[in-house]
Amino acid sequence: MKPSLPGASTDRRTMLRLLGLGAAATVGGTALAGCSKEAGSQGSATSADAIKAVLPTYQRVELLKPDIAGEGPIPDGYLSYPSQLVDAVTEAPGRGGPPIKTMSPWWGPAPPPLGRNAYLAAVNGKLGVEVDPSLQDGNTYADKLNAMLGARDVPDLLCAPNWEVDKVARFSDAVKALFTDLTDHLKGDAAAKYPYLASLPSGAWEYSVWGGRLYAVPFPTDGPFAYALFHRRDLLDPAGLAAPTTPEELYEFGKKATDPAKGVWAFGSVFEMVQQFFGCQQTWRKKPDGGLEHKYENPAFAAALEFTARLFAEGLVHPDTAASRGADEKQLFKAGKILMYQDGLGAWQGMQSERVKELSTFDMQPLPVFGASGGQPVIWGSEKPVFWTFLKKDLAPERVDELLGVLNWCAAPFGSREFELREFGAEGQHFSRGADGTPTPTELGRKELGAQYTHIGGRVPVKVRSGDTPEYVQDYIGYYRKHIATMEKDLFAGIKLELPANWSKNLQPTDDKIRDIVRGRRPVGDIEQVRKEFMDTGGEEGRAFHEKALADNGR
């Protein structure tokens, strides 16, 4: 027997696992994701028409004309920082209410709290009401959410990342029981009272509806693609390695670039991108004869699996990646130990600007997406918002108005003084201005800012040129424009799916089996068996559920 130490979370984790109480235990991991759905839940779907009926009327706000106009879900681009900022909100949203408690995720050392944080003081001064943010660790956010929702203990404003919501048992019940129904405050033209909330893309609002009612303010994504395959152009070009344009060239590139003696491998994680090259859908696609086909049933998936397993088998993937899922691929990529890896496009600017300070030639670029054997690639993506912000239930209408006013302030767009204060703090204190007017954070700025107001408010995403990443905005928007036409159409766009428990709980175990195949721990031929197991233990139920959701919406 091992000693039971105070706060022995290992024991608790085991128990949680047994009780199926949530993905509580795995720090930053998702091994238990999906286990937390209430057993027996059949899932539900809200029809697209019901959702359209409650959306805020979209109202474009353009304080500044963009240099590169975005299209659809592609953000606007600005090539210079504006010299003249505009006051976007003329009246402070505070109505003399008590301090507003918020909770939002943050991935980094926690900034100082209210009372010892000049940034919070500066923003609260403008808001006319005290916002008291609690920043909780993003990696264990689901644990905290599970406990808080279960105990019905929520702050005035609660920000929840979309992928954590999937880990919370009966989240839709919690939404109805614990949060304010915002429909009457924001539906249709009512949203005009909060112009910056009304300017958030409708695509993001569509995902903020539960049971036909509007319950949250979304934080829209700044680019709908799920992944890109980044490569080190600064290392490829001098070595005479051309960027691959077919899977065969990708393989050849791997052979040429990998040199374990020098500690260099061609690849980190690439499997999701390879699937896209091979034209495999993210989850479902419509068969020509009607009905849905899961990606595991698509021969393209098997081909992508075989291709990737070969990269692993021939030692072209960094051993850290091959060994586990815990490889710090960003660090390996920055150090030139791997030359290609897949990541969200959000990684781009931060890493480029950080690394170029030490290595002036550093140039990371997403590889243009290509198809296999003359086929078309399929790019995965969606307009699902990154976060949602919920308002606590049973607030007086004036208080709801005050909170929405604060969120409206927090959603003020680029080009406004509010945007600058929210993103960078106070000039001279939290940032200094470069010659081109761009704010550069000071030490204090880095210490005190933690997206306290950003994650809760949503904002219209924009891309802005900064001195240390001069080409980034054009590159980013250029990449999106080049590929947006290849993005897979979301069959379920605008339909709110709450998936059946048998489906959800099967995803991670199946993913683990496929991981084993990719890494050569099981033969590639096993995919047939894995597919069958998946389909038998929830896959078919999932298919029926999804087909019904489409049929109900006349699609």
Angle at 450 between CA 446 and CA 454, to 5 degrees: 125
What's the 3-state SS for 107-128? Answer: CCCCCCCCCCCHHHHHHHHHHC
Give the Cα separation of 255 and 257 in Å (integer). 6
User: How many residues lie near another protein (CB under 8 A)?
Assistant: 91
Select from 102, 96, 59 the least CA-distant residue to 199: 59
Tokens describing residue 267: 């690849």
Q: Name which of 314, 227, 224, 226 is nearest 267 in CA terms.
A: 314
Q: Establish if 425 lies at the interface with another protein (CB under 8 A).
A: no
Residue 434 within binding range of another protein, rule CB under 8 A? no
Residues 307-346 that bind another protein (CB under 8 A): 325, 328-332, 334-337, 342-346
**From candidates 221, 298, 408, 506, binder to another protein by CB under 8 A:** 221
Residue 161 is a binding residue for another protein (CB under 8 A): yes
Do residues 390 and 216 lie in contact, with contact meaning Cβ atoms separated by under 8 Å?
A: yes
State the nearest-atom distance from the C-beta of 147 to another protein, in Å: 4
- Tell me: does residue 352 bind another protein (CB under 8 A): no
The least distance separating another protein from the CB of residue 342, rounded to whole angstroms, comes to: 8
Distance, CA of 296 to CA of 92 (rounded, Å): 53
**Binding to another protein by residue 30, rule CB under 8 A?**
yes
Which residue of 81, 227, 284, 480 would you call a contact of another protein, by CB under 8 A?
227
**Candidate residues 76, 143, 363, 490; the one interacting with another protein per rule CB under 8 A:** 143
| The token pair that represents 220 in the structure block | 């829209």
* CA atoms of 527 and 547, how far apart (whole Å): 24
**C-beta closer to another protein: residue 146 or 553:** 146
Distance CA 495, CA 418 (A): 34
Residue 520 interacts with another protein (CB under 8 A): yes or no: no
The contacts of residue 127 (CB under 8 Å, 6+ apart) are 92, 93, 94, 406, 409
21 lines the binding site for another protein (CB under 8 A)? yes
Site string for another protein, 453-492 (x = CB under 8 A): -xx---x-x-------------------------------
Q: CA 220 to CA 236: how far, in whole Å?
A: 34
Q: Does 505 bind another protein (CB under 8 A)?
A: no
358 near another protein (CB under 8 A): yes
Residue 12 touching another protein (CB under 8 A): yes
Q: Which of 130, 511, 526, 533 binds another protein (CB under 8 A)?
A: 511
Residue number, 172 or 269, with CB nearest to another protein: 269
Looking at residues 87 to 126 of the shown chain, list those that interact with another protein (rule: CB under 8 A).
103, 105-113, 116
Q: Is 151 in the site for another protein (CB under 8 A)?
A: yes
Verify binding: residue 211, another protein, rule CB under 8 A: no
Backbone angles phi, psi at 81, to 5 degrees: -85, 135
| Residue 3, C-beta contacts closer than 8 angstroms, at least 6 positions apart | none
Binding pattern for the stretch 405-424 against another protein, x by CB under 8 A and - elsewhere: --------------------
From residue 223, give the alpha-carbon distance in Å to each of 220, 345, 347: 9, 8, 12
The residues that bridge with 416 in the sheet, in sequence order, are 86
The residue within the footprint of another protein, chosen from 17, 95, 144, 417 (CB under 8 A), is 144
Instruction: Report the alpha-carbon distance of residue 244 to residue 368 in Å, rounded.
Output: 9
- Interface residue with another protein among 146, 275, 276, 408 (CB under 8 A) is 146
Considering all CA atoms of the chain, what is the largest pairwise distance in Å, rounded to the nearest integer? 68
Q: Which is nearer to another protein, 207 or 213 (CB)?
A: 207
Stretch that binds another protein, among 59-67, 150-158, 190-198, 289-297 (CB under 8 A): 150-158
Q: Determine which residue in the list 447, 486, 509, 547 makes contact with another protein, applying CB under 8 A.
A: 447
Among 134, 202, 474, 537, binds another protein (CB under 8 A): 134
Query: To which residue do tokens 């995902």 refer?
Result: 207
| Contact call for residue 72 and another protein (CB under 8 A) | no
Which strands form 131-137's sheet, in the order they lie side by side?
A: 131-137, 100-106, 157-161, 387-391, 216-219
CB of 187 to another protein, least distance (A): 26
Residue 139: which residues within 8 A CB-CB, separation 6 or more?
27, 28, 107
Q: Which is nearer to another protein, 128 or 150 (CB)?
A: 150
In the bound complex, what is the minimum distance in angstroms from residue 305's beta carbon to another protein?
Answer: 16
Q: Closest Cα partner for 405 from 100, 44, 40?
A: 100
CB of 207 to another protein, least distance (A): 15
Query: Contact between 240 and another protein (CB under 8 A)?
Result: no
Question: 496-498 and 228-232 as β-strands: parallel, antiparallel, unpaired?
Answer: unpaired
